Structure 1
Amino acid sequence: MKKMLFVGLLLSTYIGFSQTENTSSLNVTESAPFEDESNTYEVIALKTTDDNQTGLVRQGKRDLAFEIFDENQNRVFSEIVEIDRREEYIDNVFAGDEMKIITVFEASKSERIVNCYRFNLKERTRTKQQLFVAEVDGKRPLFAGKAKRGTGAAISPSGNYFVISTDNIKRNLNSYYVRVFDATSLELVYRKSYQEHPERFFQPNDISIDDDATVFALGKLFKDGKAFKKKGEANYEFVLNKITEAKLEETLIGLENEHIQSLSISETDDKLFLLGFYSEMNISRLKGGCNFEVDKNSLEVVSKKVSPLPIEVFQDLYGEDRAENKKDQELRNFYIDHVLKDGKGNTYILAEEFYITSTYAGYGIVITTYHYDDIVILKYNAQGELAWGRSIFKRETFPSYNAFIKEDSLHVLLNTGKSLTEKNDGRTKASKGFFESTALYDFEYSPDGEVSYNKIQDNKKNTKYFPANGTYENNIFLMMSGGGKERQFMLLK
């Protein structure tokens, strides 16, 4: 009886039809296999130069692995560097021929040393240089908001400057620092403190730097305490800080009934677009997209556009019949992963649903599951207006996707079950069954939002590639396979 019930549950779970699949429009090639000398697969940086020299940096428990592959994906450089257990990877920036890996070392209870590993792909060299020493109050972290892109590093479009943002919170003072460095000499250009306040707490969201070494730091400034919501209203306002060596300016981004988890900076000419999602309930929910246009020079908020999610987002998630009833409800637990721009000034935002569940399995064992589920995609035109929205109905337990724009089409790469499932209600589900093998897919979106489901390959043994760790440069998407000691690269052109 239990076996029959189990089989019945399986069948009821996977009722649907095999989705019609197309061959990817991308040209697919694979490199020759190479022996992996590293003991880790945690890729922290993968970048390619203009002459197609690829740098790969991976992190182990006590080491960093630096590797270079030539234009034919043959490994031409490999070095494994031991690091102290108190040294932590923070961020990386890349321009020209050089990758810069930023780490912080806990020298003592109150002293932190920030270092830069310079990895030159043309000269095939790797060096380490100390950037600065910082004092912290007690055991407060120096890079508290790095997971949310608040504190960390950013590089200017020309690659001439990079900025590192850190916390400087003391017992009686909230404060933050930006340090701007010359990218060639690594000399400090200037250091500036901003958002100093004895009572009001500031939460960084995003940071950027332009070719004039001007830094734009965006975040939430709380009104009273650290609660996101008080008496039904947002207990914060967004502040855009403009920081130069000589001057510090700021402007408030006005909110009405919106609750916004975070905003990302996108720069076009003399304009800054602050993009994100809003809710009418709380910051963990999603009602639609918002876009604030700011004049880069005057910091004037030129326009504010708030748009509910298009009906197509709900049709992709719930099917056409249920979408009409769901469209007034708010989604939840979505976090922005990608803000992409095409050659015509359009901007794409991609966010993934992420949450954690815990299940008690008995005998004191608790199983924690990380969920990387649905994806929401919004496209804004060059005028900052919402052009269209779509979504991907998927289920996964690890980071599984990446995205890039090629010839005005958006490509979303992900691993899922060998055959996509088309539900009776019209939805296409990307997930893997209990006994199902996996495949690599390219969800290709045309400029007007039409989607084509393109299978790149069925995954086999060590030739399963991981898009989440890939990189798109020189019109080529490059990613590495996983599993075992033998690896390969896949190139999508």
Structure 2
Amino acid sequence: MKIKFLAMALFVALFSVVSSAQEINCKTTKSEVFKDEYKYSNIVLVEEDGNGGVFIVRWYRGGVFSSGMGYYFEHYDSNLKLIKEFEYEMKYSEVIKQSSVIGVITNGNDVSLIDFVYDKSQGAYICSALTSNMNDFNFKSKELFRLNSEEIKQFSFLSGGGFDKDSGASMIINEDKTAFAVTVDIKDKKSETHKLYLFDSALNKKIDHTFKRDIKDRKFIYENIDVSKDGNTLYLLGKVFTDEKKKKKDGGRYQFELTQITKDSEKTQVFDTEEHYSRSLKTIIFQDRLTCIGFYSDKNDNRYKGISYFELDPKTLEIKKTKFNPFTEQFMIDKYGKDKDKELKNLSFRQLLITPNNEIVFNAEEFYITVHTYSSPNGGMQTRTIYHYDDIVSAKISSAGDIVWARNINKRQATSGDESYISYTSTVKGDDTFFFINTGEKVKKLSKDRIQFGQTSTKKSNFNVIKITPNGDFDYQELLDDKDNEVPFMVSDGAISGNSVYFVGRKGKKKQLLKVTL
């Protein structure tokens, strides 16, 4: 069967009447084009140096013909001129059978790679910090904790295939980057069990806790873990399928459980989405409130009607507000035009952004996978897996839990190769929300107040910015034309620092850095 791959044009519905694209105040700065020894690279850390320059840490790995994995540490001035660089290759002894750097954190001028390995000779999983000052790059290892291999549920470091999504080890850094948590799924047939560790950025252990819920693992879906702003408290959110909830006639037959964990205590709040379905929720921690936000539906878990909002006291976990905000009429017009008798599906959470007024910008994307089977020239059968990144959904929620605006960016993007060049990166500056998107053609004005973007590819990729104003109006601008770029930029892997967003461009081993300052 013949596949029409990436043949569909990308349409974006205009959010307000457009006579012409307005100037968006953005400054772009490019580094020189350079070549790495290794093909694949992406930014894992950006830290401003206080003098207008920036420290950038890039993870790399080789391709088919150049094995290797490690990190590039680079110091650039304000014009992205390279001042200093250092390469740190990850090398392990033969007794290390699995390994993964699960995160990177800084403390002043020190940078730490948090490494999680399986040491066969010791029969243990060991979590260590590889720390160096960014002036001398003399890395030293410090063990943070270890677990007997028999305690840990089997998992894959490199993929989640065949395992539940909370298996393995993961690292979470708080908003102020003063503390981080490491969570490890523990083997237990009767109970959902996790080991939770909390450290400050100086690698001092603050919490060593075993979380256990008396329910089978498959009936407890791990949503997310957050670290408080002061770095002293953990919040674990789970979706739990209990026998009691099975008897519900309306809404989701499950409950959400938010557990607060401190050095000396554990406390849990249970809340239900009543007659609605909330497929998943995410926690957002403020100084004086704790919120859980997600999409809800009144029909089933695959079609969404609006945004659910729960507000809790961060100390007592008392539920203070519960709201179910239906999508606005403007949002439905954005997505479907006059035909509003439809609902969203396949939404995948992407980002939570906080404005200076403590409003929440909640971003998601319609993501799904299709597998196509066709006959090969030699008479056999082949399959191709295609990853689809369709409409972007963005909504601003006030500090009172109400929708300020909700917008839909209509698009069609798909790939069976590198996904880094499609999708998007988003950020906020002040009350404005920005999206960075690649497209293959010039933006064209169409009838009925619409604009159109062509499909993007690594061979032709224009770099665009989309802006949503405080009242929900829309603007757009092409920042970089494909013919002026030596490399296409990996738009979904942007790294944010202050008022700037950093991207890596790649074409083979050829690389370039891009800074967009808002």
TM-score if structure 1 supplies the norm length? 0.86
After superposition, give the CA deviation of every residue in 1:425-450 in whole Å (9 maximum; x if it has no partner): 54434441799932111001111111
The 1:112–1:433 alpha-carbon spacing in structure 2 relative to 1, beyond 3 Å, is closer
Deviation at 1:257, TM superposition (A): 1.7
Aligned: 1:334 with 2:335: no
In the alignment, what sits opposite 1:3? none
Aligned: 1:488 with 2:509: no
Structure 1: runs of 5 or more not aligned: 1-5
Q: How does 1:156-171 map onto structure 2 within 5 Å? A: 156-171=174-189
After superposition, give the CA deviation of every residue in 1:123-181 in whole Å (9 maximum; x if it has no partner): 54544433222234575239879967996222344544321122123123321221112
Task: Give the Cα–Cα distance (whole angstroms) in 2 for the partners of residues 17 and 182 of structure 1.
Answer: 45
Q: 1:439 aligns with which of 457, 462, 487?
A: 462
Check conservation: 2:43, 2:56, Cα contact below 8 A. Answer: no
In the alignment, what sits opposite 1:102? 114
In the alignment, what sits opposite 1:469? 493
Q: What letter corresponds to residue 28 of structure 1 in structure 2?
A: T
The 1:17–1:204 alpha-carbon spacing in structure 2 relative to 1, beyond 3 Å, is closer
Task: Give the Cα–Cα distance (whole angstroms) in 2 for the partners of residues 119 and 390 of structure 1.
Answer: 44
After superposition, give the CA deviation of every residue in 1:419-477 in whole Å (9 maximum; x if it has no partner): 23555454434441799932111001111111101110112453322222221212111
Task: Give the Cα–Cα distance (whole angstroms) in 2 for the partners of residues 17 and 392 of structure 1.
Answer: 6
Q: How does 1:363-382 map onto structure 2 within 5 Å? A: 363-382=380-399
Q: What letter corresponds to residue 409 of structure 2 in structure 1?
A: I
In the alignment, what sits opposite 1:82? 90
In the alignment, what sits opposite 1:114? 127
In the alignment, what sits opposite 1:250? 268
Task: Give the Cα–Cα distance (whole angstroms) in 2 for the partners of residues 479 and 70 of structure 1.
Answer: 14
In the alignment, what sits opposite 2:410? 393
Deviation at 1:303, TM superposition (A): 0.2
Task: Give the Cα–Cα distance (whole angstroms) in 2 for the partners of residues 162 and 13 of structure 1.
Answer: 42
Task: Give the Cα–Cα distance (whole angstroms) in 2 for the partners of residues 16 and 336 of structure 1.
Answer: 20
In the alignment, what sits opposite 1:220? 239
Task: Give the Cα–Cα distance (whole angstroms) in 1 for the partners of residues 457 and 425 of structure 2.
Answer: 24
Q: With CA pairs under 8 Å and 6+ residues apart, which has the higher RCO, 1 or 2?
A: 2
In the alignment, what sits opposite 2:65? none
Q: What letter corresponds to residue 114 of structure 2 in structure 1?
A: I
Higher mean alpha-carbon deviation, 215-224 vs 59-68, is at: 59-68
Check conservation: 1:141, 1:167, Cα contact below 8 A. Answer: no
> Secondary structure of 1:315's partner?
helix
In the alignment, what sits opposite 1:296? 314
Check conservation: 1:373, 1:396, Cα contact below 8 A. Answer: yes
Deviation at 1:59, TM superposition (A): 3.5
The 1:259–1:172 alpha-carbon spacing in structure 2 relative to 1, beyond 3 Å, is same
Q: How does 1:5-44 map onto structure 2 within 5 Å? A: 20-41=20-41, 43=42
Task: Give the Cα–Cα distance (whole angstroms) in 1 for the partners of residues 133 and 491 of structure 2.
Answer: 24
Aligned: 1:65 with 2:71: yes
In the alignment, what sits opposite 1:315? 333
Structure 2: runs of 5 or more not aligned: 63-67
Higher mean alpha-carbon deviation, 398-407 vs 425-434, is at: 425-434
Check conservation: 2:487, 2:506, Cα contact below 8 A. Answer: yes
Q: What letter corresponds to residue 470 of structure 2 in structure 1?
A: P
Higher mean alpha-carbon deviation, 365-374 vs 260-269, is at: 260-269
The 1:123–1:337 alpha-carbon spacing in structure 2 relative to 1, beyond 3 Å, is farther
> Secondary structure of 1:394's partner?
coil
Task: Give the Cα–Cα distance (whole angstroms) in 2 for the partners of residues 306 and 111 of structure 1.
Answer: 46
Percent of aligned pairs with the same amino acid? 23
The 1:187–1:436 alpha-carbon spacing in structure 2 relative to 1, beyond 3 Å, is closer
Check conservation: 1:48, 1:55, Cα contact below 8 A. Answer: yes
Check conservation: 1:346, 1:381, Cα contact below 8 A. Answer: yes
Check conservation: 2:105, 2:177, Cα contact below 8 A. Answer: no
Deviation at 1:366, TM superposition (A): 0.5
Aligned: 1:456 with 2:479: yes
After superposition, give the CA deviation of every residue in 1:372-405 in whole Å (9 maximum; x if it has no partner): 1110000011222110100111122224310111
Task: Give the Cα–Cα distance (whole angstroms) in 2 for the partners of residues 349 and 149 of structure 1.
Answer: 26
> Secondary structure of 1:317's partner?
helix
After superposition, give the CA deviation of every residue in 1:184-205 in whole Å (9 maximum; x if it has no partner): 1x24322111233154732221
Aligned: 1:347 with 2:355: no
**Number of equivalent positions:** 476
In the alignment, what sits opposite 2:324? 306
After superposition, give the CA deviation of every residue in 1:84-142 in whole Å (9 maximum; x if it has no partner): 56213434445654544334323349732223333644554544433222234575239
Task: Give the Cα–Cα distance (whole angstroms) in 2 for the partners of residues 431 and 471 of structure 1.
Answer: 25
Task: Give the Cα–Cα distance (whole angstroms) in 2 for the partners of residues 434 and 124 of structure 1.
Answer: 37
In the alignment, what sits opposite 2:373? 360
The 1:248–1:314 alpha-carbon spacing in structure 2 relative to 1, beyond 3 Å, is same
CA RMSD of aligned residues (A): 3.3
Task: Give the Cα–Cα distance (whole angstroms) in 2 for the partners of residues 32 and 391 of structure 1.
Answer: 36
Task: Give the Cα–Cα distance (whole angstroms) in 2 for the partners of residues 256 and 466 of structure 1.
Answer: 41
Check conservation: 1:16, 1:421, Cα contact below 8 A. Answer: no
Task: Give the Cα–Cα distance (whole angstroms) in 2 for the partners of residues 432 and 157 of structure 1.
Answer: 35
Higher mean alpha-carbon deviation, 53-62 vs 101-110, is at: 101-110
Q: What letter corresponds to residue 352 of structure 1 in structure 2?
A: E
Task: Give the Cα–Cα distance (whole angstroms) in 2 for the partners of residues 273 and 189 of structure 1.
Answer: 24
After superposition, give the CA deviation of every residue in 1:265-292 in whole Å (9 maximum; x if it has no partner): 2122210111111122333332211111
Higher mean alpha-carbon deviation, 96-105 vs 344-353, is at: 96-105
Q: What letter corresponds to residue 45 of structure 1 in structure 2?
A: V
> Secondary structure of 2:471's partner?
coil
Task: Give the Cα–Cα distance (whole angstroms) in 1 for the partners of residues 449 and 167 of structure 2.
Answer: 37
After superposition, give the CA deviation of every residue in 1:326-360 in whole Å (9 maximum; x if it has no partner): 3xx32111111110011111110110111100111
Q: What letter corresponds to residue 471 of structure 1 in structure 2?
A: A
Check conservation: 1:162, 1:182, Cα contact below 8 A. Answer: yes
Task: Give the Cα–Cα distance (whole angstroms) in 2 for the partners of residues 16 and 266 of structure 1.
Answer: 29
Aligned: 1:410 with 2:429: no
The 1:304–1:230 alpha-carbon spacing in structure 2 relative to 1, beyond 3 Å, is closer
Task: Give the Cα–Cα distance (whole angstroms) in 1 for the partners of residues 168 and 360 of structure 2.
Answer: 21
Task: Give the Cα–Cα distance (whole angstroms) in 1 for the partners of residues 43 and 114 of structure 2.
Answer: 11
> Secondary structure of 2:466's partner?
strand
Check conservation: 1:355, 1:372, Cα contact below 8 A. Answer: yes
TM-score if structure 2 supplies the norm length? 0.82
Task: Give the Cα–Cα distance (whole angstroms) in 2 for the partners of residues 86 and 157 of structure 1.
Answer: 30
